[in-house]
Amino acid sequence: MDFTVMKHNSNIVLDKYDDKQISDIVRFVKTGVNYSNGRTCYHILKYPIIYNNIRYCSVKIKGAGFYSNDKEVVKPGLSDFVRREPHYGFDKNGNAVQVFSDIAPFGGMTESKATNEYNNFEYLSEKGISTLIPYKLLKYNDLTYRNESLAVVVALCTEQHPIRLYKLLWPAEKNSEEESSYYASILEREGIVGNIKLFNIRIMLIKKIAEKYALEVRKFSESGLYIHSGGWSNIQYNSQTKKVVLVDLDSSRHISDECSKFHRLYSIRDLISNIYRLLISLYNPNIILQYDETVLKNNNYVYYLLRGYFPEVNEEELQKTSNDIMNYYIINCFNKIKAIEFKMNVMTQEESQKYELVMFEFYHFCLGKIQKITIK
């Protein structure tokens, strides 16, 4: 299984040992380290490097097969991956429309998608936005999907354990010891005193991360990029800068000249996407057991996302807008699901979808509310 180097960041020089390990993972000679199911794995550098005064301890390898929890790796492109949930987008007139993702190779990336991710890493890192540092773009010589070559993106990560932040939302007992230890280190970096396994302490950290995440989303939008979806499964933490790191950018696009007059709409949409996906994640049968209406109102995550995104907006407006959005969520979905939480682990996907927050209605509601605080 061979590949061609399409792009190489000449400013980065890894030790020959680490480069060989990366090549072996891409060639399926050995397996990488994975922290969750998906098309991403990692190689932990034996010889970390310093780049732009930041220490990098691992590399993210995306597109070299699908990794499952049982450590099996399925080569990319053997089957289709179809995302059935539409995105909330806009047509050329600025009207809301459903947008569907392209069918993708299961476990892999086409060359065009991989190139897009590599370029986005490069573009954002040059602008000082917290993301990964692109290292190599590799194209498989003999793997294709729908007549397009498959490719892999290799990028530098700061973390020795590049664990994503979505499991911070889970009950502590659902985290591995490695995850708990890593989240505890973030807690310490953020200056929060307490035990990461205690629910009220985790909530304090979740609020901090939400605010930091929203700040990066704003800078991301201001750079001229947009993405249809966001979520805590697509972010990491930089323990040196104490910033949230945006890690999955193959679907991100530059706003075209045709759409530039709707830049603000796209920006608000990206913020709403992160609000939506954070609230949707609370439907997980494991997570919902921790929450009730009182906990949600007393710890309004929407407020911290808005505060991170709009630091210039006064407190009263942020509180009112976030309360309106959280109340909409509680009334239209959370209470309905909470009433049947005992059934959630055995419900079919079709049954559970009946209780899901209707995406377009939620986006419309949030768009109206958030536009009011941005039009001055």
Residues 114-125: tens digit of each pLDDT: 999 999 999 999
Q: Supply the angle between the helices 315-329 and 301-309 in degrees, to the nearest 10.
A: 140
> Do residues 61 and 22 touch, judged by C-beta distance below 8 A?
yes
173-177 long-range Cβ contacts below 8 angstroms, 24+ apart: 173/197, 174/286
32 φ/ψ angles, rounded to the nearest 5 degrees = -90, -175
- With tokens 């480069």, the residue in question is 19
What are 226's strand-pairing partners? 253
E strand spans, 115-201:
133-145, 148-157
Report the candidate in 226, 255, 235 with the shortest Cα–Cα distance to residue 305. Answer: 235
pLDDT at site 258: 55
Q: What is the mean pLDDT of residues 232-244?
A: 95
Report the candidate in 183, 240, 247 with the shortest Cα–Cα distance to residue 56. Answer: 240
pLDDT at site 228: 61
pLDDT at site 253: 87
Least confident of 84-93, 103-112, 280-289, 362-371: 84-93
Report the candidate in 153, 178, 175 with the shortest Cα–Cα distance to residue 166. Answer: 175
Strands 235-238 and 243-246: what pairing?
A: antiparallel
Please state, rounded to an integer, the average pLDDT across all residues of the chain. Answer: 90
Q: What is the mean pLDDT of residues 143-165?
A: 96
Least confident of 2-6, 193-197, 258-262: 258-262
* More confidently predicted of 73 and 9: 9
The rounded distance, in Å, linking the Cα atoms of 282 and 265 is: 26
Helix (H, G, I), strand (E, B) or coil at 134: strand
Q: What is the mean pLDDT of residues 301-327?
A: 96
Q: What tens digit of pLDDT does each residue of 102-144 get? A: 788 888 999 999 999 999 999 999 999 999 999 999 999 999 9
pLDDT at site 10: 94
Q: What tens digit of pLDDT does each residue of 358-374 get? A: 888 999 999 999 998 87
* 82, pLDDT greater than 80: no
pLDDT at site 229: 64
* 375, pLDDT greater than 70: no
pLDDT band per the 50, 70, 90 thresholds, residue 257: low
304: enclosing H helix or E strand? helix 301-309
pLDDT at site 351: 74
The rounded distance, in Å, linking the Cα atoms of 112 and 305 is: 32
Q: What is the mean pLDDT of residues 333-354?
A: 76
* More confidently predicted of 101 and 133: 133
Report the candidate in 237, 244, 228, 229 with the shortest Cα–Cα distance to residue 280. Answer: 229
* 36, pLDDT greater than 70: yes
Q: Supply the angle between the helices 263-281 and 199-222 in degrees, to the nearest 10.
A: 160
Report the candidate in 218, 199, 327, 332 with the shortest Cα–Cα distance to residue 273. Answer: 218
Q: What is the mean pLDDT of residues 215-221?
A: 93
C-alpha of 223 from chain center: 18
> Do residues 51 and 12 touch, judged by C-beta distance below 8 A?
yes
pLDDT over 70 for what percent of the chain? 95
| C-alpha distance from residue 137 to each of 8, 61, 121, 299 (Å) | 7, 10, 11, 42
* 271, pLDDT greater than 90: yes
Least confident of 11-20, 111-120, 285-294, 331-340: 331-340
Report the candidate in 247, 164, 245 with the shortest Cα–Cα distance to residue 212. Answer: 245
Q: What is the mean pLDDT of residues 318-332?
A: 95
Q: What is the mean pLDDT of residues 312-322?
A: 95
